[in-house]
């Protein structure tokens, strides 16, 4: 079998995320009913890193079904959200209409976004499971930086890549792979993520392709794209339970007892 091109993998991910977007309407992670009742879907970490968004123009890259973008709109930002999944963008647009929130959503492959979306924003934001679906981190940084106004910021809040190297075996962390040697990821999936592992939602079987990036590669890609790194932060908590040994911390986050490794990182870069 000939190997798949990155474009074919991106296209498979688009199909997979179309299936997942529909399933996520029932996911405890997205908790759409609670969101509709006014709950702010941004966790403390994103809120701390983004700061005051009132009156700011803001672009969220890979916004999925739009609940973060729409929470930012509720907080007073003028929001544009974008994603490759047409189903996710349809759901986001529907939620904005249903809730009377002023936000615009654009469907595009990240790398083709400049063909369909012009403009510069005070803030560009991306978070929680976005960079790992992108085969070219430098290409991503060029696109993302191109949307930041001079003086504006790009904020990333992401799953820490170190977490992806461990499995949990008998309640303990075990190093299962190398960050430097297993860069490409392929999973056949018939479930999608939820807040807790046991609440994962069933989804028609689909393929998901990923690429692991180190924090160094992400940061250097931003520097190469002409941004100045203002702030880098690593924290021992995560937005959802990714390994069975992770426990809720009572603050909408999950931790590994003893906080042995960073589980999320944030980076703010300025143009
Ligand atoms: C794990 S999801 C969620 C991220 C979202 N920020 C959140 O917190 O819900 C990743 C998203 O990235 C999108 N995506 C994957 N590859 C993409 C690409 N090449 N261009 C644009 N969006 C992409 C998927 O469609 C999906 O909605």
In a domain, 14, yes or no: yes
Which among 133, 136, 210, 252 is the best mutation to test ligand 1's pocket, defined by most ligand atoms within 8 Å of the CB?
Answer: 133
The rounded percent of the chain whose pLDDT value lies above 70 is 99
pTM comes to 0.96
Using the predicted structure, report yes or no on whether residue 179 has a pLDDT greater than 90.
Answer: no
Which among 83, 105, 201 is the best mutation to test ligand 1's pocket, defined by most ligand atoms within 8 Å of the CB?
Answer: 83
Q: Assign residue 73 the CATH number of its domain.
A: 3.40.50.150
- Give me the domain span that covers residue 12: 6-270
End-to-end alpha carbon distance in the chain: 44
Q: Which residues pair with 209 in a beta bridge?
A: 186
- Model pLDDT for residues 216-251, shown as the tens digit of each residue: 999 999 999 999 999 999 999 999 999 999 999 988
In a domain, 125, yes or no: yes
Q: Which residues line ligand 1 (CB under 6 A)?
A: 10, 13, 17, 62-64, 68, 83-85, 88, 109-110, 127-130, 133-134
3-state DSSP helix/strand/coil percent for the chain, to nearest 5? 35, 30, 35
CA distances from 170 to 42, 174, 243, 244 (A): 33, 9, 11, 9
In a domain, 35, yes or no: yes
Query: DSSP class of residue 257?
Result: T
In a domain, 78, yes or no: yes
Residue whose token pair is 């079987």: 205
Using the predicted structure, report yes or no on whether residue 1 has a pLDDT greater than 60.
Answer: no
Total domains, the chain:
1
Q: Which atom of ligand 1 is nearest to the CA of 18?
A: 25
Nearest Cα to Cα of residue 79 among 39, 21, 122, 46: 122
In a domain, 191, yes or no: yes
Taking the C-alpha atoms of residue 79 and residue 54, their distance in angstroms, rounded to an integer, is: 11
Mean pLDDT for 143-160 is 98
Q: What is the chain's length? A: 271
In a domain, 1, yes or no: no
In a domain, 75, yes or no: yes
In a domain, 101, yes or no: yes
Q: Which of 7-16, 177-186, 206-215 bottoms out in mean pLDDT, i.e. has the lowest?
A: 177-186
Taking the C-alpha atoms of residue 110 and residue 71, their distance in angstroms, rounded to an integer, is: 22
């Amino acid at each position: 079998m000939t190997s798949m091109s990155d474009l074919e993998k991106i296209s498979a991910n688009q199909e997979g995320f179309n299936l997942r977007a529909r399933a996520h309407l029932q996911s405890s992670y997205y908790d759409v009913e609670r969101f509709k009742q006014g709950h702010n879907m941004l966790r403390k970490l994103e809120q701390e890193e983004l700061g005051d968004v009132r009156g700011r123009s803001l672009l969220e890259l890979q916004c999925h079904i739009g609940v973060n973008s729409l929470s930012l709109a509720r907080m007073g930002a003028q929001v544009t959200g974008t994603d490759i999944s047409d189903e996710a963008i349809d759901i986001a647009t529907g939620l904005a209409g249903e809730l009377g929130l002023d936000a615009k959503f654009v469907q595009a492959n990240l790398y083709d976004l400049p063909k369909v979306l012009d403009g510069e924003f005070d803030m560009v934001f991306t978070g929680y499971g976005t960079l790992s679906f992108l085969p070219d981190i430098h290409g991503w940084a060029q696109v993302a930086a191109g949307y930041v106004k001079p003086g504006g910021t790009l904020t990333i809040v992401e799953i820490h890549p170190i977490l992806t190297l461990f499995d949990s075996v008998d309640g303990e962390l075990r190093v299962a792979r190398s960050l430097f040697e297993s860069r490409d990821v392929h999973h056949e999936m018939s479930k999608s993520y939820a807040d807790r592992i046991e609440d994962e939602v069933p989804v028609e079987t689909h393929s998901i392709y990923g690429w692991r990036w180190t924090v160094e590669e992400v940061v250097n890609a931003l520097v190469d794209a002409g941004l100045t790194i203002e702030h880098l932060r690593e924290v021992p908590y995560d937005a959802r339970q990714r390994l069975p040994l992770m426990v809720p911390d009572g603050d909408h986050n999950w931790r590994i007892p003893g906080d042995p490794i960073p589980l999320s990182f944030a980076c703010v870069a300025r143009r």
